[in-house]
Structure formats: C-alpha cells, structure tokens
C-alpha cells in the first residue's frame, strides 16, 4: 500500500534510525579528538546509546506493522489512526530527546576546534550519501507511478478512477515536497543537527519541524486512504492492495 510506504519513508528518512546523533561520529571522534580518555568515554557513550536505540527500532517496526494492517482494511476507523499516530510521535519525541542528550554530553568532551575538523568529515559524508538519497526518492516516485497504473486498470468507473489518480498525485506531491524540505536540512552541514553546542531553542525548533513533517505525511496519507475507499468496490480494493 502506497500510503504505508510514504509514512514509513517519512519516519525513516525525516528522522532516521538515530535522530540527532551524527552518523559515524564514533569514527570521527577517533580521528579528531586528541585526548584518548575523552575518546574512549565518547565511544562508550555512543555504543550504549546505540544499544538503547534497539528497543526504539523494535517499537517503530511494531507501529509500522500495525499501520500496514489498518491501511489494508476497509473498515478501519479514523480514531484507530489517531491513537497510533500519538504512539508514533511519542516514540519519536522520546528518541529525539535521548539522542540530543547523548550529543550534548559527547560535545562536552570535544573542543570547538576538534568539532570544526569533524564537521569537515560530516560535509564529505553528506556529499557521498546525497546520491543514495536521490536514488531512493526515484524508487518512491516509480512506485507511485506503478500504483497509479494499477489503480487506473482496476477501477472500472472512469470518473472514479480519475479521482483516485488525482488523490495519489496529490499525496505524491505532498510527500516529495516534504522529502525535499527534510533533505535540505539533513544534507546541510551547517544545520543545527551538526552544530557545535546548539541552543535548546534551536534544537526544539528542529525537533518540531521533523515531527510536523511526519504528521503531515501521516495525516495526508490516511485522508487519502479513506477517500480511496469511497471510490472503490470491495473487489477493486482487494486488487489494488
């Protein structure tokens, strides 16, 4: 189901498996932090954080599995989605807060000069990963087009088929717009996410932006789900899922 794909992508892409923890920070710390004792302390901190994150990953997978079940059903209710959204956002918020605390603690043992060197490596890493992210977006776009084709062939009523395709196009446009907005932040080495000792206000603003993007994709996809139900028969619904 395309809606499940969009929401899953939003959670994984907009926040990542370890939101607010710089990817490969342990490697950069080994390279640029001079004090060996501080190096070891940060490495242990990051390892413990990664271990703790495993429980969050399991919970995320459960939420997405529950979401897929709801989206497959024709008789799911709006409140079912509202309850699940609150659970997803609570999990994301808890994870973000925990990871911000880890980054703040790590940066307490990194000098400003060492962080400048780390940022150079971050910039290089972001440039390399940008191509992979674009390829992922292309795959998502192709999936949307493939699903549109399937819907066009399945829904017998031409007017309803046209309406269904318009719904998918709107959802696609919304998702890609939010994807690009998130990428503009995540791929920017000057982002608050990679800043040395960012202020609490800056971090709250970024956290709010990420949560808002996830909420918009989720709610738009759920609304589209209910609109599509109205445009299909039971048999058509089975075929397009």
User: Is 78 exposed, middle or buried, given 0-12, 13-18 or 19+ CB atoms closer than 10 A?
Assistant: exposed
d(CA 236, CA 158) in angstroms, rounded, equals 13
* Residue 84 · residue 70 · CB < 8 Å: yes
**8 A C-beta contact, residue 163 and residue 198:** no
Q: Are 25 and 32 in contact (CB under 8 A)?
A: no
Q: What is the pTM of this model?
A: 0.85
Which structure tokens are listed for 215?
């909420």
Would you list the domain boundaries of the chain?
A: 2-240
**pLDDT the model gives residue 170:** 93
Count Cβ atoms within 10 A of the Cβ of residue 114 and give its class: 0-12 exposed, 13-18 middle, 19 or more buried.
buried
What confidence score (pLDDT) does residue 13 get?
62
pLDDT under 50 in the chain at which residues?
none
* pLDDT value of residue 41: 96
* Residue listed under structure tokens 């609570």: 90
pLDDT tens digits, residue range 128-161?
Answer: 776 777 777 888 888 889 889 999 999 999 999 9
Q: Measuring CA to CA, which residue among 183, 204, 203, 178 is closest to residue 193?
A: 203
- Strand, helix or coil for residue 33: coil
Report the candidate in 235, 231, 220, 103 with the shortest Cα–Cα distance to residue 161: 231
pLDDT at 18: 62
Predicted pLDDT of residue 16: 55
In the DSSP assignment, the letter for residue 77 is -
Tens digit of each residue's pLDDT (9 = 90 or more) over 195-210 = 999 998 998 888 888 8
d(CA 113, CA 214): 35
SS3 label, residue 23:
coil
């Amino acid at each position: 189901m395309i809606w499940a794909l969009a929401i899953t992508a939003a959670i994984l892409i907009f926040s990542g498996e370890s939101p607010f923890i710089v990817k490969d920070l342990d490697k950069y710390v080994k390279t640029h932090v001079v004090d060996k004792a501080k190096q070891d302390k940060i490495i242990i901190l990051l390892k413990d954080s990664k271990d703790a994150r495993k429980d969050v990953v399991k919970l995320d997978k459960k939420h997405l599995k529950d979401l897929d079940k709801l989206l497959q059903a024709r008789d799911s209710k709006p409140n079912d989605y509202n309850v699940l959204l609150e659970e997803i956002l609570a999990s994301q918020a808890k994870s973000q807060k925990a990871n911000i605390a880890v980054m703040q603690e790590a940066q307490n043992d990194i000098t400003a000069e060492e962080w400048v060197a780390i940022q150079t490596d971050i910039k290089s890493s972001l440039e390399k990963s940008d191509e992979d992210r674009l390829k992922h977006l292309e795959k998502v776009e192709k999936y949307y087009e493939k699903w549109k084709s399937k819907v066009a062939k399945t829904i017998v009523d031409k007017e309803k088929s046209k309406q269904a395709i318009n719904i998918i196009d709107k959802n696609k446009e919304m998702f890609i717009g939010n994807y690009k907005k998130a990428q503009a932040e995540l791929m920017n080495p000057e982002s608050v996410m990679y800043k040395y000792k960012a202020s609490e206000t800056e971090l709250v603003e970024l956290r709010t932006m990420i949560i808002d993007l996830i909420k918009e994709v989720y709610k738009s996809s759920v609304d589209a789900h209910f609109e599509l139900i109205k445009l299909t028969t039971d048999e058509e619904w089975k075929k397009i899922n």
